[in-house]
Amino acid sequence: MKTTLKIVGMLVVVLFVIIGAGILALPQILSTDLAKSKITQVIEQKTGRKLIITGDTSFKFYPDIGVSLNDISLSNPPRMAGPPLVKMTALRASFKLIPLFKGQVEVADITLIKPHFILLVDKKGNRNWDFNMAASDDEGTGEPSSGTSVTLGSVTIKNGFVHYINAKDDVNLKLEAINITLAQKLPSRSINTKGNLRWRNEILNISSKIDAPDQLFANQPSKLFIKLASRFTDSEYEGMVTLGDQPSIDGSLISRTSSVRQLAKFLGHKLPAGNGFGKLKLKTILKADAKQIQFATSQFLFDNMDIKASGTIDLKRKQPVIVANMEVDRLDLNPYLANQDSGSASSSASSGSAAIDLSAINLVDGTFKLKTNEILYQKARIGAGQFDISIINGRADATIRALSLYRGSATGNLVLDGSRSTPQISGNLALNNVLVGAILRDFASFEKLSGRGSLSGNFDVKGDNVKDLKKSMKGNVKLNLAKGRIDGFNLARYVEQLTGNTVPGSGTGRDGKERTAYDKMSASFKVNKGVARTTDFLLTGSFFKVRAKGRINIVDETLNMRVAPHLFSGDWSFAPPLKVTGPWAKPKPGFDAVAFWGGSGAVVRSLSGLARGGSLANSDLLKRRGLKNDAEIEAYLDGKKIDTSNDAPAAANNPDDGAGTDAPASPLGGLLGGDQNGLGNLLKKVLP
């Protein structure tokens, strides 16, 4: 914006200095037989520059006064080196004859043919278009003397060229193929402009209206309307504008583009991959000068998001600094995720190939207060939130003041560091009274758990793709849930198959799928290099209390857990050692036969007796061995050997001890018999 204002001012000042000096010279030209020397003398007197005319000079006197100067150039200030400020193939001008006798100058038209402007700013900030270096203050304006009235008809630039070189701020800008006409209307003296030019090989169409050009060229405010249209953008500004050393604007801006991505590419900026940065419509009230832009009541329609904003942009630094308050109806992050073009975002994410690109954070610095009614991220739909965001040197620090999600709330902090070659993300979050199962489903594609409660922790990851992020993950997580279920595994039915005993809750859900309902679940996890370990997993329900220790591999999405469920029903209880392994989307529970059978003197002796033709009460076999107490449960979970050498042998089952055919049914049913609950079939079901 600052550069645009400067260039507009420079073009206008340079053109009117030349035109004004020529007008001043006209009466003397007529009285000195139209000598070239007089024209150059007046120009040098009024501008402090040398006007060189190497081509022919011609005049006409009827019906208007006309002058034609060919192959001319105007030098830089005396103490500034470089090519001429302007040179052109020809300058054509015509003036109405009758007003000259009244001391008035009415310019019918002026045409600049192939003007070539070189606008320079040296390292000290000196500008070659500064005409205050003339011989005297009175003569340094490039305007007619105080007694002369000037009216401008039209000025046309044909095939012009502007090269702006700013050595102080390292700016190099070229505008080519400039074909523009400026026309002044009476009596308002307003100037209308229409035409086009080429910038970066793209044609920009321009139309404008300056209400008070005399004030504008005297560095006073004037109302301006200007419209720019190209392949990439269509923009309109209406309001006050001031040129000169302290350019400024104060008005309304409307801008539209069908693709922010294509517009950014045209302007020389590369945006991160993805489908985002599409359509944009902006309407704002703004005030701007060389140091700052203030915008208020701004409305954006950006990638189908409705955004309202107000704030400031500090232009004093090379990197713009934005301070803004923003409200977004729906913050949709999905278009800005990499690898979305192919429509296989989910497969890319699951395979870990989805790229992580935080380079967009480097585009601006600033602080933002953001309110949003909804946030969309992949499958997740997050509710209303309030955030404080700070961006400094490519590092974004977001504080979650309030966030409604999954029927609960969240607070915390998130840091996105895009300043390094490898992106880094860290944060700490506290989720309260949320549907944790739904969160795991949407963010981790884990659909086996439901429940409501709290989830809190901190994390730190780095990498340029999802798989690397998972591999690097470290942190701590605490989980507390209530009244939920585990899908795909029916603990009650599993125990029935293992023992032959009827256990409450063994039925399937209404949809016929296996599941285990629980009352409470709690655990803490320590995460390092993408592996989460827990030593205090606890799950309780109406007929069980389950403890577990083990690890969850976040990279491979697998489980390896030792599980000690204490199952009970009436006066019966059983604590079989289990292992749960395999992919977390479909974990495989297995009876830990080594822990159950290994080292049990009683079991070994009982089985030996069975081999010799003896008999045994089935229920006693399992009651004799399993995880008998807390000490054995703890030992099993820690992977230690359980000492069963002193176990008493199992009692024989015979009619004399009341365990015959009329004895109460044991919870093992026909475990050792030939029915479906026989030992062979059982082992096939439960052994890993």
Question: What's the number of CA atoms in the CB half-sphere (13 Å) around residue 356?
Answer: 21
Reading phi first (left if > 0) and then psi (alpha if -120 to 50, else beta), residue 451 is in left
In angstroms, the CA 105 to CA 190 distance is 17
**Range in 298-312, 408-422, 573-587 with the lowest mean pLDDT:** 573-587
Query: In the numeric block, which tokens belong to residue 165?
Result: 């070189």
Cis preceding linkage at 504, omega within 30 = no
pLDDT digits (tens, 9 = 90+) for 608-657: 544 555 444 444 444 445 677 778 888 888 887 776 655 554 443 333 33
Q: How confident is the model at residue 414 (pLDDT cuts 50, 70, 90)?
A: very high
Q: What percentage of residues in the chain have a pLDDT greater than 70? A: 74
pLDDT of residue 610: 47
Residue 422 has pLDDT above 80, yes or no: yes
In angstroms, the CA 437 to CA 487 distance is 11
In angstroms, the CA 279 to CA 301 distance is 8
Residue type, 154: S
Q: Given the DSSP bridges, would you call strands 331-332 and 375-377 parallel, antiparallel or unpaired?
A: parallel
- How do the domains of the chain map onto residue ranges? 1-224, 489-516+535-688
Q: Three-class SS string for 202-219?
A: EEEEEEEEECCHHHHHCC
Query: In the numeric block, which tokens belong to residue 267?
Result: 């302007």
pLDDT of residue 645: 59
Query: In the numeric block, which tokens belong to residue 168?
Result: 């102080």
Close Cβ partners of 585 (under 8 Å, ≥ 6 residues apart): 445, 446, 447, 448, 557
Q: Three-class SS string for 545-581?
A: EEEEEEEEECCCCEEEEEEEEEEEECCEEECCCEEEE
Backbone angles phi, psi at 251, to 5 degrees: -175, -160
Query: In the numeric block, which tokens belong to residue 38?
Result: 């007089």
Report which of residues 6 and 316 the model is more confident about.
Answer: 316
Q: Contact, 409 vs 453, CB < 8 A?
A: no
**Range in 119-123, 330-334, 440-444, 578-582 with the lowest mean pLDDT:** 440-444
Q: Contact, 113 vs 91, CB < 8 A?
A: yes
Q: Three-class SS string for 346-377?
A: HHHHHHCCCECCCHHHHHCEEEEEEEECCEEE
SS3 category, 265: helix
pLDDT of residue 81: 81
pLDDT of residue 242: 92
Q: Contact, 15 vs 155, CB < 8 A?
A: yes
pLDDT of residue 244: 76
Backbone angles phi, psi at 498, to 5 degrees: -75, -35
Residue 237 has pLDDT above 80, yes or no: yes
In angstroms, the CA 211 to CA 188 distance is 7
Residue 381 has pLDDT above 90, yes or no: no
Print burial letters for 274-306: b (CB count within 10 Å at least 16), e (below 16): bbbbeebebebebbbbeeebebeebebebbeee
Q: How confident is the model at residue 69 (pLDDT cuts 50, 70, 90)?
A: confident
Q: How confident is the model at residue 95 (pLDDT cuts 50, 70, 90)?
A: confident
pLDDT digits (tens, 9 = 90+) for 385-401: 999 999 999 999 999 99
**Segment 328-336 mean pLDDT:** 87
Residue type, 114: K
User: Which is nearest to 68 in space by CA: 101, 32, 99, 39?
Assistant: 39
Q: What percentage of residues in the chain have a pLDDT greater than 90? A: 35
pLDDT of residue 505: 59
Q: How confident is the model at residue 344 (pLDDT cuts 50, 70, 90)?
A: very low
> Among all chains, which residue has been given the structure tokens 């602080």?
367
Query: In the numeric block, which tokens belong to residue 647?
Result: 């176990």
Residue 539 has pLDDT above 90, yes or no: yes
Report which of residues 204 and 217 the model is more confident about.
Answer: 204
Q: Contact, 539 vs 546, CB < 8 A?
A: yes
Close Cβ partners of 373 (under 8 Å, ≥ 6 residues apart): 328, 329, 330, 383, 384
Report which of residues 120 and 577 the model is more confident about.
Answer: 120
Query: In the numeric block, which tokens belong to residue 225?
Result: 């309307």
Q: Contact, 197 vs 178, CB < 8 A?
A: yes
**Which residues, in sequence order, are bridge partners of residue 113?**
90, 158
Close Cβ partners of 356 (under 8 Å, ≥ 6 residues apart): 338, 423, 425, 463, 464, 465, 466, 468, 469
Q: How confident is the model at residue 553 (pLDDT cuts 50, 70, 90)?
A: very high
pLDDT digits (tens, 9 = 90+) for 434-462: 998 888 888 877 778 889 999 999 999 99
Residue 604 has pLDDT above 80, yes or no: no
**Segment 47-65 mean pLDDT:** 80
Q: How confident is the model at residue 675 (pLDDT cuts 50, 70, 90)?
A: very low
Q: Three-class SS string for 423-488?
A: CEEEEEEEEEEEEHHHHHHHHHCCCCEEEEEEEEEEEEEECCEHHHHHHHCEEEEEEEEEEEEEEC
Q: Looking at residue 49, what DSSP letter applies?
A: S
pLDDT of residue 574: 75
Q: How confident is the model at residue 41 (pLDDT cuts 50, 70, 90)?
A: confident
SS3 category, 80: coil
**Which residues, in sequence order, are bridge partners of residue 450?**
485
| Type and span of the H or E element at 630 | helix 630-637
SS3 category, 129: coil
In angstroms, the CA 208 to CA 214 distance is 16
SS3 category, 189: coil
